[in-house]
């Protein structure tokens, strides 16, 4: 039986009206915000699926997703004004309803492009009580919650990459809580998702980029 925290019951503090359709949506957006690492945005495209598409307008799901992308937290009263915030920062925002069948009714896809041209496409689902699961990044199927500091590395799938990365983390005294690897096809693009107890410092990320051959892109959430 799950050991509940009292704050699972009295909490979270959040902007309404729905923990799954509003607070969870903000948290999916926040994953994109963290991936962008503070870079200025040019364009955001949101696609709402399932129940998000059906009742998302009334729950402010679209505004909540956008608020997260802009770095606004689920308990920040500015969530409802995210469209205005985006406009004031000259960010192009597009909202669509997707009719594809998703495996979870509360699913959203967020495409974000920065002024410098960096792009991310993130697919996330809101699984209840404000908890979320990220299931896709840039076309790669992944799975993580964003509850822990998360390191995501895209690399060419050759033997030895994983052990080199974890060796560096061990050397830097960073404890790995969970680790998963994903790939699109044999010996091609792969992705490792490492959830750690403490955030991985920038210096360690640079080390990984410098020392491990095959790492194409590395980012943190």
Looking at 6-14, 151-159, 177-185, 196-204, which segment touches other proteins (CB under 8 A)?
A: 6-14
The alpha carbon torsion through 58, 146, 15, 97 (nearest 10 deg) reads: -10
Q: Quote the tokens at residue 114.
A: 């920065």
According to the binding rule CB under 8 A, does residue 60 interact with other proteins? yes
According to the binding rule CB under 8 A, does residue 203 interact with other proteins? no
Looking at 123-131, 161-169, 183-191, 212-220, which segment touches other proteins (CB under 8 A)?
A: 123-131
Interface pick for other proteins out of 51, 107, 150, 196 (rule CB under 8 A): 51
Q: Which is nearer to other proteins, 78 or 118 (CB)?
A: 78
Q: Quote the tokens at residue 143.
A: 């799975």
23-32 b/e (C-beta count within 10 Å ≥ 16 → b): bbbbbbbbbb
β-sheet with 189-196: strand ranges across = 176-183, 189-196, 150-156, 215-220
Q: Which is nearer to other proteins, 36 or 69 (CB)?
A: 69
What DSSP letter does each residue of 117-136 carry, written as one string? --EEEEEEEEEETTEEEEEE
Q: Quote the tokens at residue 128.
A: 């209840």
Interface pick for other proteins out of 10, 173, 175, 203 (rule CB under 8 A): 10
Report 63-122 residues binding other proteins (CB under 8 A): 63, 75, 77, 79-80
According to the binding rule CB under 8 A, does residue 197 interact with other proteins? no
According to the binding rule CB under 8 A, does residue 56 interact with other proteins? yes
Q: Which is nearer to other proteins, 19 or 145 (CB)?
A: 19
Q: Which is nearer to other proteins, 19 or 138 (CB)?
A: 19
According to the binding rule CB under 8 A, does residue 185 interact with other proteins? no
Structural contact between residues 98 and 81, judged by C-beta atoms closer than 8 angstroms: no
Radius of gyration of the chain (CA): 18
158-186 b/e (C-beta count within 10 Å ≥ 16 → b): eeebbeebeebbeeeebebeeeeebbeee
According to the binding rule CB under 8 A, does residue 29 interact with other proteins? no
According to the binding rule CB under 8 A, does residue 130 interact with other proteins? yes
Looking at 17-25, 28-36, 137-145, 168-176, which segment touches other proteins (CB under 8 A)?
A: 17-25
* Sites of contact with other proteins (CB under 8 A): 1-19, 22-23, 51, 54-60, 63, 75, 77, 79-80, 128-130
């Amino acid at each position: 039986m799950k050991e509940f925290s009292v704050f699972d019951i009295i909490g979270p503090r959040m902007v309404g009206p729905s923990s799954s359709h509003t607070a969870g949506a903000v948290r999916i957006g926040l994953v994109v915000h963290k991936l962008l690492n503070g870079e200025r945005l040019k364009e955001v495209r949101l696609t709402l699926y399932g129940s998000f598409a059906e009742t998302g307008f009334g729950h402010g799901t679209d505004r909540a997703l956008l608020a997260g992308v802009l770095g606004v937290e689920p308990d920040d009263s500015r969530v409802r004004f995210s469209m205005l915030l985006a406009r004031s920062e000259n960010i192009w925002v597009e909202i669509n309803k997707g009719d594809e069948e998703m495996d979870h009714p509360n699913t959203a896809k967020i495409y974000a492009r920065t002024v410098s041209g960096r792009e991310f496409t993130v697919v996330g689902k809101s699984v209840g009580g404000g908890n979320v699961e990220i299931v896709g990044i840039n076309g790669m199927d992944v799975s993580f919650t964003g509850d822990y500091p998360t390191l995501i590395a895209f690399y060419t799938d050759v033997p030895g990459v994983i052990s080199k990365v974890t060796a560096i983390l061990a050397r830097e005294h960073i404890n790995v809580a969970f680790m998963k690897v994903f790939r699109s096809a044999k010996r091609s693009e792969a992705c490792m998702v490492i959830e750690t107890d403490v955030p991985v410092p920038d210096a360690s990320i640079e080390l990984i980029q410098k020392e491990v051959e095959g790492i194409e892109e590395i980012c943190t959430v």
